Amino acid sequence: MDKNINMSARGGSTYGGKKIIIANWKMNPSSLKETKKIFDTIRKAASRLKNVETVICPPFVYLNSLNPRTTLGLSKGSPWIGAQDLFWQESGSYTGEISAKMLKNLGVQYVIIGHSERREYLKETNEMINKKIKTALKNNLKVIFCIGEKKRDSKGKYLSFIEEEILKGLKGIQKKLLNNLIIAYEPIWAIGKKTKQSDTPKDVFQMSMYIRKIAGKIPILYGGSVSPENAENFLCDTGIHGLLVGHKSLIPKDFNKILKIADKSR
Ligand code: PGA
């Protein structure tokens, strides 16, 4: 265990008590036209909300076209833009990769790192994720660091799995940089359209306490089948700071409902 971590994260949230709601669009939508349509509907709703930090994470190819800083006047509640990944090297011969500086120079604010789908399909390890987090933080990007277990076992082995993900992911990171880090707890068994259930608010509450014991006062999000139906329970009863939303974030009607719920939940 890296003892520095717990001590290092005392700074707490820099979000002024706002709920943080992140849209992870994954590899969707397939056209820029559709992307802009969804974004615009969400942007209008988000701009009216005072108590929510909305972040939209589209595929790389759409980042520039959606960035409100370059395409629109930035009103108070306008969504921020986030990437879904980056590479740990600053530049060079790494075909297909995107650097932290490229994102920063586009005006991108956030980046998701360590999503379970990348851990599974692309075999991303805790060590690779640690390098990505370090590069992102060094370049002043806000990191949404994803963790989560594949399954729950009755002996509680999943807890050590989570601990290992946190400690290896954050190994050697300077204390002052942790102010720009958010942990997204996403149990893998609860992710996606096909899954039968989300986690329960009670378990998410316990997990948030557990994560806090290891990581200190880093803001924690829950992700995994979040919907307008369950958003309120997660936001009010679990001690977490916000939500990471997958498939429902591509349906503006549903995502905007989640934003409104977050705006009211204090
Ligand atoms: P989901 O995805 O909301 O579709 O379960 C969440 C995520 O993978 O970030």
CB atoms within 10 A of CB 8: 21
Task: For 134-173, write each residue's pLDDT tens digit.
Answer: 999 999 999 999 999 999 988 889 999 999 999 999 999 9
Question: Which residue type, as a one-letter code, is found at position 128?
Answer: M
Helix (H, G, I), strand (E, B) or coil at 110: strand
Contact between 25 and 58 (Cβ < 8 Å): yes
Pocket mutation for ligand 1, best pick of 226, 227, 243, 254 (most atoms within 8 Å of C-beta)? 226
Per-residue pLDDT band at 8 (split at 50, 70, 90)? very low
CA atoms within 13 A on the CB side of 36: 8
Q: What secondary structure letter does DSSP report for 6? A: H
Q: Please determine, for residue 7, whether its predicted confidence score (pLDDT) is greater than 90.
A: no
Which residue, by CA, sits nearest to atom 2 of ligand 1?
Answer: 246
The two tokens of residue 176 are: 């002052």
Q: Please determine, for residue 73, whether its predicted confidence score (pLDDT) is greater than 50.
A: no
Residue-level length of the chain: 266
The two tokens of residue 171 are: 């190994």
Which residue, by CA, sits nearest to atom 7 of ligand 1?
Answer: 246
CA–CA gap between residue 82 and residue 234 (Å, rounded): 23
CA–CA gap between residue 167 and residue 91 (Å, rounded): 27
Per-residue pLDDT band at 199 (split at 50, 70, 90)? confident
pLDDT more than 90, % of the chain: 77
Q: Is 220 exposed, middle or buried (0-12, 13-18, 19+ CB in 10 A)?
A: buried
Contact between 22 and 245 (Cβ < 8 Å): yes
**pLDDT (0 to 100) of residue 237:** 75
The enclosing H or E element of 243 equals strand 242-245
**pLDDT (0 to 100) of residue 174:** 86
**pLDDT (0 to 100) of residue 260:** 97
CA–CA gap between residue 225 and residue 53 (Å, rounded): 20
CA–CA gap between residue 87 and residue 96 (Å, rounded): 10
Cis previous bond, 228, omega within 30: no
What residues are annotated to the active site?
Answer: 115, 186
Which residue, by CA, sits nearest to atom 9 of ligand 1?
Answer: 246
Enter the pTM of the model.
0.92
**pLDDT (0 to 100) of residue 76:** 58
Question: Which residue type, as a one-letter code, is found at position 15?
Answer: Y
**pLDDT (0 to 100) of residue 196:** 74
Give the CA distances from residue 213 to residues 10, 167, 209, 218, in Å, rounded to whole numbers and listed in that order: 12, 12, 6, 10
Per-residue pLDDT band at 257 (split at 50, 70, 90)? very high
Helix (H, G, I), strand (E, B) or coil at 143: strand
Helix (H, G, I), strand (E, B) or coil at 14: coil
166 Cα to the center of ligand 1, angstroms: 20
Question: Which residue type, as a one-letter code, is found at position 223?
Answer: G
Task: For 12-62, write each residue's pLDDT tens digit.
Answer: 345 778 999 999 999 999 999 999 999 999 999 999 999 999 999 999 999
CB atoms within 10 A of CB 193: 8
203 Cα to the center of ligand 1, angstroms: 17
Contact between 214 and 163 (Cβ < 8 Å): yes
The two tokens of residue 211 are: 């994560």
Strands 220-223 and 181-185: parallel
Ligand 1 pocket: which residues have CB below 6 Å? 24, 186, 191-192, 223-226, 244-248
CA–CA gap between residue 235 and residue 241 (Å, rounded): 7
